């Protein structure tokens, strides 16, 4: 199954200069586990901030999230995969890089996101369509 058919397109962006508190507010409000960090206006200059980063690097250490900038704890660069690749390729890439989410890119622009759960859902659908092409 092609990635672009089943990817999540609900992606939130946040500017690198914003505080971690701003990111937390947005993530809790939208019920999302990560935000894409925009470092500059240049296409492709992205990072990613996950709930794991926030909890482990800020909350667990008792740091005030209003005093930490998103850019200080975000991971950069983001792992990208082409929209025309299959979910099998995505699973392999995730396993090799030991990451839980992959961004779907089209000419350097992020257009979607796939998580481990998406990979599992795609696998179930592929099995359901077995012998009929996927």
Partner 1 sequence: MVLEKIFSHGRKERQVTENIEKHIQLLCRACGIFKDALEKNDRNLLWEVIELERDADAVRRDVIAHIYEGAFLPYIRPDLCKFVEIVDEVFDLLKDIAFLGLECKLPEPLREESIRVALLNFRMCELLLISFQAMLRGEDLREKILGIRIYEKKIDDIKLNLFKDAEQVPVANFWAGKMLSDLLTGLCGISDIIEDASDHLQIINVSTR
Point out which residues bind partner 1 (CB under 8 A): 5-6, 8-10, 121, 124-125, 127-129, 132
DSSP string of 72-117? HH-BSS--EEETTSBHHHHHHHHHHHT-SEEEEEETTEEEEEEEHH
Decide whether 36 or 63 has the Cβ nearer to partner 1.
36
| Shortest distance in whole angstroms from residue 124 CB to partner 1 | 6
Q: Are 73 and 20 in contact (CB under 8 A)?
A: yes
Q: Residue 91 CA to chain centroid, in angstroms?
A: 14
Task: Report the residue number, 63 or 121, with the smaller CB distance to partner 1.
Answer: 121
Q: Which of 35/54 has CB closer to partner 1?
A: 35
Q: How far is the CB of 90 from partner 1 (least distance, A)?
A: 16
Least Å distance, CB 10 to partner 1, is 5
Q: Is 6 helix (H, G, I), strand (E, B) or coil?
A: helix
Q: Which residues contact residue 11 at a Cβ distance below 8 angstroms, ignoring those fewer than 6 apart?
A: 36, 110, 112, 113
| Minimum CB–partner distance for residue 63 and partner 1 (Å) | 33
At closest approach, how far in Å is the CB of 132 from partner 1?
A: 5
- Looking at the Cβ atoms of 3 and 73, the one nearer to partner 1 is 3
**Beta carbon nearer to partner 1, 10 or 67:** 10
Matching residue, tokens 């890119």? 105
- CA–CA separation, 50 and 27 (whole Å): 9
């Amino acid at each position: 199954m092609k990635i672009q058919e089943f990817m999540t397109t609900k992606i939130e962006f946040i500017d690198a200069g914003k505080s971690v508190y701003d990111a937390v507010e947005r993530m809790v409000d939208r019920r999302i586990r990560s935000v894409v960090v925009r470092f500059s206006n240049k296409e492709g200059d992205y990072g990613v901030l996950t709930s794991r980063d926030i909890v482990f690097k800020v909350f667990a250490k008792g740091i005030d999230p209003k005093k930490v900038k998103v850019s200080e704890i975000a991971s950069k660069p983001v792992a990208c995969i082409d929209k025309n690749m299959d979910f099998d390729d995505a699973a392999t890439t995730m396993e090799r890089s030991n990451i839980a989410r992959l961004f779907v890119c089209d000419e350097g622009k992020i257009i979607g996101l796939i998580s481990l759960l998406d990979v599992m859902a795609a696998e179930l659908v592929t099995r359901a369509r077995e012998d009929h092409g996927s």
